Structure 1
Amino acid sequence: MRIGISLGAGGARGLGHIRFLEVFEELGVKPSIISGASIGAIIGAVYSAGMDTNEIKESINDIIFEKNAKFWEIHKRSDFIKMFNFIDPEIKQGGLIKGEKFVNFLGEKLSVSTFEELKIPLRIAATDFKENSCVDIHSGDLLNAIRASYAIPGLFTPVELNGRILIDGGVSNPLPYDLIYDKCDICIAIDSSANKTKQFDEIPAAYEILFAGFSMLQRSIIEEKLKRLKPHIYIDSDVQNVRIHEFTKVNSIYEQVEGKKEELKRKLSKLLES
């Protein structure tokens, strides 16, 4: 039976995808195909390349530590020096950060550079800036496809790939299960978008408005999409009190999705037994 899993966008909340992938290892099955957008593309790529979930978590711990700090405070803490090293400023080309340093680090970890080298087929969602449409990338340059998929507009520099100008896949297709739906017998969709916006007593800072607005956009797209095409298993990771940039809350994210992970395990086991 062919099992496909789609890992949605959602910034830091998407670190919970790792716990959902543990279900496959615990059940002794392997996904036949994976799709992902933004953080989901990153997690999907490393898993498709052959890293198990423990190895993925160890790699994340090399970069991120559970501290009471925000993304923009990392330069104040010596134990965040590795994460700070991934920031490569770029002001002239449509973004503030190139994103090349992180994707190069990722390439070293993966030891692969193309889709064809992956052990599990992968579809990555990016957004064509000119056409305002989702681009399904599944062959050729893997690293630039990943970089395009997490290129948040205004923050990361857009990526030129195959004659297109590409930005974050979460803009057009934050939960790209449609890219794999007809290629599997069981289609699983893991939604890491925010299900509600933090309440503020006064007008929030500009970055709060930017990230909250982006999350609301993703949620609306997913809700409309679910009305048209339902995956066989849909799981809302329901991570609370973690904003898109708060990667330092990784341990809290793992703990919060534990119940949802068990839900996925029950539902998938039932379908496999039927």
Structure 2
Amino acid sequence: MSQPPTPHIGLALGSGSARGWAHIGVIRALADAGIEPDIVCGTSIGALVGAAYVGGEFDPLETWVRGLRLQTVVSFLDFSLGSGLIKGDRLIEFFRSHFVDRDIGELARPFGAVATDLRRGREVWLREGRVTDAVRA
């Protein structure tokens, strides 16, 4: 009798600004249970956390997030009247200079970021190019 196929596990991480840092705890809980996703996708802060995870920089990101103070969080807020309340440029620049900034194809496992094309009103999957460009979209 043949073995049943091994299931593939995908991890989808959502948006949520500062609440999105809770994804770190989710990933830790999965690891503690011996669950390792085959593919990781995310949008907004979920894409940032997911990129650090598949980029091998999860522990440094977690350490940095746990050390955040209100003043640091406020310093990353760059308000916008455009498509989103917070542009995110300051956070992405920090991420680019301190964490993953390489081609998505170089990551340890498949990764994708999801954005919205506001003109067409549909989702856009970013699965190639620079990690920070995909996360920022």
For 2:104, give the aligned amino acid: F
Spell out the pairing of 1:233-244 with structure 2 (5 A cutoff): none
Q: Distance in 2 between matches of 1:12 and 1:98?
A: 14
Q: Residue 59 of structure 1 corresponds to which residue in structure 2?
A: 64
Q: Which fold has the larger relative contact order, with Cα–Cα distance below 8 Å and residues 6 or more apart in sequence?
A: 1
- Partner residue of 1:5 out of 7, 11, 24: 11
Determine if the alignment matches structure 1 residue 86 to structure 2 residue 76: yes
Q: Between Structure 1 and Structure 2, whose CA radius of gyration is higher?
A: 1
For 1:40, give the aligned amino acid: G
TM-score normalised by the chain length of structure 2: 0.78
For 2:57, give the aligned amino acid: M
Determine if the alignment matches structure 1 residue 119 to structure 2 residue 108: yes
Q: Distance in 1 between matches of 2:20 and 2:94?
A: 19
**SS of alignment partner, residue 5 of structure 1:** strand
Cα distance 1:95–1:127, how it changes in 2: closer, same or farther (>3 A)?
closer
RMSD: 2.5
Q: Distance in 1 between matches of 2:34 and 2:80?
A: 44
Spell out the pairing of 1:20-35 with structure 2 (5 A cutoff): 20-35=26-41
Segments of structure 2 that go 5 or more residues without pairing to the other structure are 1-5
Cα distance 1:132–1:57, how it changes in 2: closer, same or farther (>3 A)?
same
Q: Distance in 1 between matches of 2:120 and 2:85?
A: 23
Q: Which runs of 4+ in 1 moved over 6 A?
A: 93-96
**SS of alignment partner, residue 34 of structure 1:** strand
Cα distance 1:99–1:39, how it changes in 2: closer, same or farther (>3 A)?
closer
Spell out the pairing of 1:193-208 with structure 2 (5 A cutoff): none
Larger fraction in helix: 1
Q: Deviations over 1:151-203 (max 9, x none)?
A: xxxxxxxxxxxxxxxxxxxxxxxxxxxxxxxxxxxxxxxxxxxxxxxxxxxxx
**SS of alignment partner, residue 127 of structure 1:** strand
What is the number of equivalent residue pairs in this alignment?
131
- Partner residue of 2:53 out of 47, 51, 55: 47
8 Å CA contact 2:51–2:100 kept in 1: the answer is no
How far did 1:103 drift? 0.6
Q: Residue 103 of structure 1 corresponds to which residue in structure 2?
A: 92
How far did 1:113 drift? 2.8
**SS of alignment partner, residue 113 of structure 1:** coil
* Same amino acid, percent of matched pairs: 31
Q: Distance in 2 between matches of 1:28 and 1:94?
A: 39
Q: Distance in 1 between matches of 2:12 and 2:123?
A: 15
**SS of alignment partner, residue 119 of structure 1:** coil
How far did 1:123 drift? 1.3
